[in-house]
Amino acid sequence: MTGKHIGTSFINIKVYVNGILVDEHELGQGILRIGRHATNDVILRSNKASRHHCYLEWTEGKLLLTDTSKNGTLINGVNAQGQSEVMLGDVITIHPYTILMAPVYTGETASAHNVDEESDTIFAAPGNDLQRDFLEKTFDITHREYEIIEYVLMGRHNKDISEILRISEFTVKTHLRNIFEKLQVESRTQLIAKIMGINKDLI
Protein backbone atom coordinates (compact mmCIF):
# COMPACT_ATOMS: atom_id res chain seq x y z
CA MET A 1 0.00 0.00 0.00
CA THR A 2 1.07 3.60 -0.49
CA GLY A 3 -0.54 5.31 2.53
CA LYS A 4 0.92 6.39 5.83
CA HIS A 5 1.87 3.75 8.41
CA ILE A 6 -0.64 3.82 11.24
CA GLY A 7 1.98 3.72 13.97
CA THR A 8 -0.64 3.47 16.71
CA SER A 9 -2.87 0.80 18.20
CA PHE A 10 -6.09 2.64 17.33
CA ILE A 11 -7.76 3.31 14.01
CA ASN A 12 -11.27 4.36 13.02
CA ILE A 13 -12.98 1.93 10.64
CA LYS A 14 -15.75 3.67 8.68
CA VAL A 15 -18.15 1.59 6.57
CA TYR A 16 -20.03 3.19 3.67
CA VAL A 17 -22.65 2.03 1.17
CA ASN A 18 -23.03 4.29 -1.87
CA GLY A 19 -21.23 7.06 0.01
CA ILE A 20 -23.50 6.86 3.06
CA LEU A 21 -21.92 6.07 6.44
CA VAL A 22 -23.65 2.94 7.79
CA ASP A 23 -21.27 1.61 10.44
CA GLU A 24 -18.20 2.66 12.40
CA HIS A 25 -15.73 0.89 14.67
CA GLU A 26 -12.69 2.04 16.63
CA LEU A 27 -10.19 -0.79 16.49
CA GLY A 28 -7.59 -1.13 19.21
CA GLN A 29 -5.67 -4.29 19.90
CA GLY A 30 -7.44 -7.41 18.68
CA ILE A 31 -9.35 -8.57 15.64
CA LEU A 32 -12.19 -7.00 13.63
CA ARG A 33 -14.08 -9.65 11.67
CA ILE A 34 -15.89 -8.65 8.48
CA GLY A 35 -18.44 -10.72 6.56
CA ARG A 36 -22.03 -11.67 5.90
CA HIS A 37 -22.56 -13.89 8.95
CA ALA A 38 -24.18 -12.39 12.05
CA THR A 39 -21.20 -13.31 14.25
CA ASN A 40 -18.94 -10.78 12.48
CA ASP A 41 -18.11 -7.38 13.99
CA VAL A 42 -18.87 -5.69 10.65
CA ILE A 43 -21.86 -7.37 9.00
CA LEU A 44 -22.06 -7.01 5.22
CA ARG A 45 -25.59 -7.49 3.94
CA SER A 46 -24.62 -8.49 0.42
CA ASN A 47 -24.61 -11.83 -1.42
CA LYS A 48 -21.26 -10.84 -2.91
CA ALA A 49 -19.68 -10.95 0.53
CA SER A 50 -18.59 -14.28 2.01
CA ARG A 51 -19.94 -15.44 5.37
CA HIS A 52 -16.51 -14.78 6.85
CA HIS A 53 -15.01 -12.47 4.25
CA CYS A 54 -11.88 -11.07 5.88
CA TYR A 55 -10.51 -9.76 9.15
CA LEU A 56 -8.28 -6.96 10.39
CA GLU A 57 -5.74 -7.74 13.10
CA TRP A 58 -2.90 -5.91 14.83
CA THR A 59 0.37 -7.85 14.48
CA GLU A 60 3.69 -6.47 15.76
CA GLY A 61 2.47 -2.88 15.49
CA LYS A 62 1.02 -3.30 11.99
CA LEU A 63 -2.62 -3.58 10.97
CA LEU A 64 -2.99 -6.55 8.64
CA LEU A 65 -5.95 -7.61 6.51
CA THR A 66 -6.37 -11.33 5.89
CA ASP A 67 -8.67 -12.21 3.01
CA THR A 68 -10.64 -15.44 3.54
CA SER A 69 -13.32 -14.78 0.90
CA LYS A 70 -14.37 -16.47 -2.31
CA ASN A 71 -14.89 -13.28 -4.34
CA GLY A 72 -11.85 -11.33 -3.16
CA THR A 73 -11.22 -8.05 -1.38
CA LEU A 74 -9.82 -4.87 -2.92
CA ILE A 75 -7.43 -2.49 -1.18
CA ASN A 76 -7.18 0.79 -3.10
CA GLY A 77 -8.55 -1.00 -6.15
CA VAL A 78 -5.97 -3.82 -6.04
CA ASN A 79 -6.95 -7.38 -5.21
CA ALA A 80 -5.65 -8.36 -1.75
CA GLN A 81 -4.02 -11.75 -1.79
CA GLY A 82 -3.57 -13.59 1.49
CA GLN A 83 -2.37 -11.08 4.07
CA SER A 84 -1.79 -7.36 3.34
CA GLU A 85 -0.78 -4.41 5.49
CA VAL A 86 -3.42 -1.69 5.75
CA MET A 87 -2.46 1.96 6.23
CA LEU A 88 -4.15 5.25 7.04
CA GLY A 89 -6.25 6.46 4.15
CA ASP A 90 -6.52 3.04 2.54
CA VAL A 91 -9.86 2.08 1.01
CA ILE A 92 -11.12 -1.50 1.30
CA THR A 93 -13.83 -2.43 -1.20
CA ILE A 94 -16.22 -5.36 -0.81
CA HIS A 95 -19.00 -4.47 -3.23
CA PRO A 96 -21.16 -2.49 -2.54
CA TYR A 97 -19.32 -1.56 0.68
CA THR A 98 -16.42 0.85 1.03
CA ILE A 99 -14.41 0.61 4.24
CA LEU A 100 -12.08 3.48 5.07
CA MET A 101 -9.08 3.50 7.38
CA ALA A 102 -9.39 6.84 9.18
CA PRO A 103 -7.36 8.29 12.07
CA VAL A 104 -8.74 8.51 15.59
CA TYR A 105 -8.72 12.11 16.82
CA THR A 106 -9.23 12.97 20.47
CA GLY A 107 -8.37 15.94 22.68
CA GLU A 108 -5.22 17.78 21.63
CA THR A 109 -4.80 15.60 18.56
CA ALA A 110 -8.23 16.60 17.28
CA SER A 111 -7.51 20.29 17.89
CA ALA A 112 -4.16 20.07 16.11
CA HIS A 113 -5.80 18.68 13.02
CA ASN A 114 -8.87 20.94 13.01
CA VAL A 115 -11.19 18.02 13.64
CA ASP A 116 -14.59 18.46 15.28
CA GLU A 117 -14.91 15.61 17.81
CA GLU A 118 -18.71 15.76 17.45
CA SER A 119 -18.66 15.14 13.68
CA ASP A 120 -18.24 12.07 11.50
CA THR A 121 -15.67 13.70 9.24
CA ILE A 122 -12.98 11.42 7.78
CA PHE A 123 -10.49 14.06 6.71
CA ALA A 124 -6.94 12.82 7.24
CA ALA A 125 -3.90 14.41 8.82
CA PRO A 126 -3.35 17.55 6.69
CA GLY A 127 -6.47 19.26 8.10
CA ASN A 128 -9.34 20.91 6.27
CA ASP A 129 -7.59 24.13 5.23
CA LEU A 130 -4.81 22.41 3.29
CA GLN A 131 -7.25 20.02 1.67
CA ARG A 132 -9.68 22.80 0.71
CA ASP A 133 -6.92 24.94 -0.81
CA PHE A 134 -5.65 21.99 -2.84
CA LEU A 135 -9.12 21.16 -4.20
CA GLU A 136 -9.85 24.79 -5.02
CA LYS A 137 -6.57 25.33 -6.87
CA THR A 138 -6.29 21.95 -8.57
CA PHE A 139 -9.92 21.12 -9.41
CA ASP A 140 -11.55 24.56 -9.30
CA ILE A 141 -13.82 23.45 -6.45
CA THR A 142 -15.94 26.33 -5.13
CA HIS A 143 -16.57 27.10 -1.45
CA ARG A 144 -20.11 25.71 -1.68
CA GLU A 145 -18.94 22.58 -3.49
CA TYR A 146 -16.35 21.98 -0.79
CA GLU A 147 -19.03 22.27 1.90
CA ILE A 148 -21.02 19.58 0.10
CA ILE A 149 -17.94 17.36 -0.19
CA GLU A 150 -17.48 17.69 3.58
CA TYR A 151 -21.02 16.51 4.24
CA VAL A 152 -20.72 13.64 1.75
CA LEU A 153 -17.63 12.48 3.64
CA MET A 154 -19.66 12.63 6.86
CA GLY A 155 -22.13 10.21 5.28
CA ARG A 156 -24.96 12.73 5.00
CA HIS A 157 -27.88 12.19 2.60
CA ASN A 158 -28.85 14.86 0.05
CA LYS A 159 -31.89 15.75 2.17
CA ASP A 160 -29.69 16.27 5.25
CA ILE A 161 -27.28 18.46 3.27
CA SER A 162 -30.11 20.55 1.86
CA GLU A 163 -31.53 21.18 5.34
CA ILE A 164 -28.14 22.01 6.87
CA LEU A 165 -27.15 24.41 4.07
CA ARG A 166 -30.73 25.66 3.56
CA ILE A 167 -30.75 24.91 -0.15
CA SER A 168 -32.99 22.62 -2.19
CA GLU A 169 -32.21 18.96 -2.83
CA PHE A 170 -32.14 19.81 -6.54
CA THR A 171 -29.36 22.32 -5.86
CA VAL A 172 -27.44 19.72 -3.86
CA LYS A 173 -27.72 17.27 -6.76
CA THR A 174 -26.55 19.96 -9.20
CA HIS A 175 -23.51 20.69 -7.05
CA LEU A 176 -22.75 16.97 -6.80
CA ARG A 177 -22.89 16.58 -10.59
CA ASN A 178 -20.43 19.45 -10.92
CA ILE A 179 -18.17 17.96 -8.25
CA PHE A 180 -18.23 14.53 -9.94
CA GLU A 181 -17.33 16.12 -13.27
CA LYS A 182 -14.48 18.19 -11.84
CA LEU A 183 -12.98 15.29 -9.89
CA GLN A 184 -13.73 12.80 -12.69
CA VAL A 185 -15.71 10.38 -10.53
CA GLU A 186 -19.12 8.80 -11.04
CA SER A 187 -20.42 8.11 -7.54
CA ARG A 188 -20.19 9.09 -3.88
CA THR A 189 -18.06 6.01 -3.22
CA GLN A 190 -15.57 7.05 -5.91
CA LEU A 191 -15.60 10.61 -4.55
CA ILE A 192 -14.73 9.39 -1.04
CA ALA A 193 -11.93 7.20 -2.40
CA LYS A 194 -10.59 10.12 -4.46
CA ILE A 195 -10.54 12.47 -1.46
CA MET A 196 -8.81 9.86 0.70
CA GLY A 197 -6.19 9.42 -2.04
CA ILE A 198 -5.64 13.18 -2.10
CA ASN A 199 -5.30 13.20 1.68
CA LYS A 200 -2.54 10.59 1.52
CA ASP A 201 -0.64 12.68 -1.03
CA LEU A 202 -0.90 15.72 1.25
CA ILE A 203 0.38 13.94 4.37
Residue 115 has pLDDT above 80, yes or no: no
% of the chain with per-residue pLDDT over 90: 40
Element (H, E) at 59: strand 54-59
Q: How far is CA 144 from the centre of its chain?
A: 21
Pick 196 or 119 by higher pLDDT.
Answer: 196
pTM above 0.85, yes or no: no
The backbone torsions φ and ψ at residue 77, rounded to the nearest 5 degrees and listed phi first, read 85, 0
Order of strands across the sheet that contains 97-102: 20-27, 11-17, 97-102, 91-94, 74-75, 78-79
